[in-house]
């Protein structure tokens, strides 16, 4: 089974990159399942009903999110009714939405799990390690393959989660920092891992935002409204090869489609 995970889609440019490259990736690489992190897909902050529909129509089976999930308040109107849109599992139980879903792909049941880190992140979240442990017990016998999007700031916390879940899930992919890392590998227990997938956005920017606006913020020390950088965007993702028979991964590779990093 081939699973494509697309990193944080940033604004209209990121969505255009998905539209431009995803169909060829799906057909050319034999993709069975597409998962997209969409928390920055609507104007760079949050997710709307219209943008979610566009991403589903482009081929995404599941949309994951993170700390910007509530930035567009309209998401509260539909997240409870759309099981394919996830918010981090370790939000309080009373929070709208859900932290995982189960879908069919490649002849197997695939559980997609969304987690958020605690280090340098909002302090109100439950411990993600405890939350995912409890969920894996609940998922026993319900899914052959388990994937985890760990939306976190600290590379150490992401690596710790990879080792914590190795042997129990097919993949742990990091999101949130918008910078792709070069440490993709399969851990000894069969979990594919990467610290950060990177963003699907314009890399002639500061993590997808207009460079001039960000520099003013750093140089002047005053609030500055961030705007999505204009220009051509690059799709960044990972292609994970999973054996549904044992739920382990046989490989993971970075996918980069577009102008890249200033090239």
Question: Does residue 176 have an active-site annotation?
Answer: no
- Assign 3-class secondary structure to 200-259: EECCCCECCECHHHHHHHHHHCCCCCCCECCCCCEEEEEEEEEECCCCEEEEEEEEEECC
Residues 6+ apart with CB under 8 A from 240: 2, 3, 4, 5, 147, 170, 171, 173, 192, 249, 251, 252
How do beta strands 248-257 and 2-6 pair? Answer: unpaired
Q: Which two tokens stand for residue 174?
A: 């990091």
Name the catalytic one among 68, 151, 176, 178.
Answer: 68
Q: Catalytic residue numbers?
A: 68
């Amino acid at each position: 089974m081939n699973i494509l995970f697309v990193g944080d889609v940033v604004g209209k440019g990121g969505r255009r990159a998905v539209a431009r490259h995803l169909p060829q990736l799906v057909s050319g690489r034999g993709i069975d399942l597409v998962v997209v992190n969409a928390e920055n897909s609507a104007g760079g902050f949050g997710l709307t009903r219209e943008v979610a529909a566009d991403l589903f129509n482009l081929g995404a089976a599941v949309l994951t999110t993170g700390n910007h999930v509530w930035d567009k308040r309209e998401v509260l109107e539909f997240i409870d009714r759309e099981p394919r849109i996830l918010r981090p599992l370790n939000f309080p139980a009373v929070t709208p939405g859900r932290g995982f879903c189960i879908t069919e792909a490649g002849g197997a049941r695939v559980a997609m799990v969304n987690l958020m880190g605690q280090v340098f992140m909002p302090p109100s979240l439950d411990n993600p390690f405890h939350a995912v442990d409890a969920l894996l017990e609940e998922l026993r016998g319900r899914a052959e393959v388990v994937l985890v999007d760990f939306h976190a700031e600290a590379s150490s916390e992401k690596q710790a989660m990879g080792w914590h879940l190795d042997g129990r899930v097919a993949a742990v992919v990091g999101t949130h920092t918008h910078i792709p890392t070069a440490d993709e590998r399969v851990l000894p227990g069969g979990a594919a891992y990467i610290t950060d997938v990177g963003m699907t956005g314009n890399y002639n920017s500061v993590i997808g935002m207009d460079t001039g606006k960000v520099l003013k913020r750093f140089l002047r020390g005053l609030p500055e409204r961030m705007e999505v950088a204009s220009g051509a965007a690059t799709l960044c993702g990972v292609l994970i090869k999973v054996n549904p028979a044992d739920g382990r991964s046989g490989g993971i590779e970075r996918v980069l489609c577009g102008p890249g990093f200033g090239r």
